[in-house]
Amino acid sequence: MRSLLAVGMACLGLVASAVGAEELLLDDLLFADQDWEQVAEGFTFTEGPAVDAQGNLYFTDVFRSKIFRLNDAGEAEVFVDKSFGTNGLMFGPDGLLYGCQNGKKRIVAYDSSGTATTIAEDVQSNDIVVNRKGDIYFTDPPNKQVWYIPKGGEKRVVDRGLGYANGLILTPDQGTLVVADMRDKLLWAYRIEPDGSLGAKQPFYTLRLPEGKTDSGADGLTVDTEGRIYATSHLGLQVFDTQGRLSGIIAKPQQAWLANAVFAGPNLDTLYVTSTNRVFKRKINAKGLRYFDAEAK
């Protein structure tokens, strides 16, 4: 008899590879001689890490309404001086940096000079993902919604009902959307239909909770080339294999809110996390991906 997990995978169109069928342990990802290294400090609330085509890291300081990028010297420099509370960020296939500009209730795209163009208005937003075609999904926590904007098209709601829809990410084949419910212990997976709508909604990943808490604190998500999902949480960075199993939890770099994560660097083999007033990095035995890359399949 097939397990509920197997049924859920079939509904989503997920097929386990030979690697995915094996149990993946945290020891397979972490290098014994590598730990978290501080990259930058002195911020109020770091969020929205994103990586461009050259592997450069961008991130937001939400409460100061600024967007930063790391320069060649590894120092944080201001990219956008007045971001109006922009939170989630992700680069699209056109080289633009898309962002959730919640202070003005709109989705915007920043060009290389930091100038913003409005993509959608009159929306609440938190985090964002852009696929290889330039289609956008973003979360709307206050209204418990997930939105979709086809490239050049009009916004529409594609899911309702999560307690606090927060971080979201696509699987490497871009056929499945994963959304974190910060006020629960679940990450939800959806099959992306040809018209961009979401189907086969499944509670596919279950996060560990701290003793005495009923919410995971799941905030930001990222993914590697093998399809492993990395979710920030109260307990640290929780890592799930392609079967939805918890491989382990990477400890926080500091005892503060762990907001988001992304792979960056020239080889996309360095994991960056945003944690309240600081940004940290560490090399691990995995590589991230950008959805606009030709090899991202």
CATH number for the domain including 27? 2.120.10.30
Q: Residue 68 and residue 52: Cα distance in Å, rounded?
A: 13
Residue 182 covered by a domain: yes
In a domain, 86, yes or no: yes
Cα distance from N-terminal residue to C-terminal residue, the chain: 31
Distant-in-sequence, close-in-space partners of 289: CB < 8 Å, separation ≥ 6: 172, 223, 224, 225, 263, 268, 295, 296
Q: Is 9 within a domain? A: no
DSSP 33: T
What distance in Å separates the CA atoms of residue 139 and residue 125, rounded to the nearest whole number?
A: 6
Q: Is residue 3 part of a domain?
A: no
Specify if 250 maps to a domain: yes
**Residue 292 maps to a domain:** no
Select from 144, 142, 147, 168 the least CA-distant residue to 157.
Answer: 147
**Which pTM value belongs to this model?**
0.92
* 61 assigned to some structural domain: yes
Positive or negative, the Cα torsion across 206, 193, 137, 225? positive
Going from the C-alpha of 177 to that of each of 127, 147, 188, 192, the distances in angstroms are 13, 12, 8, 7
Residues 6+ apart with CB under 8 A from 208: 185, 216, 233, 235, 238, 246, 249
Question: What parts of the chain have a pLDDT lower than 50?
Answer: 1-11, 13-22
Q: Residue 173: which domain range? A: 22-283
pLDDT digits (tens, 9 = 90+) for 9-41: 444 544 333 334 345 678 889 999 999 999 999
Q: Within a domain: residue 17?
A: no
Please count the structural domains in the chain. Answer: 1
Name which of 142, 176, 137 is nearest 162 in CA terms. 142
Please give the pLDDT value at position 24. 60
CB 219 within 8 A of CB 213: no
Tell me what pLDDT residue 163 has. Answer: 96
The structure tokens 């097929």 sit at: 15
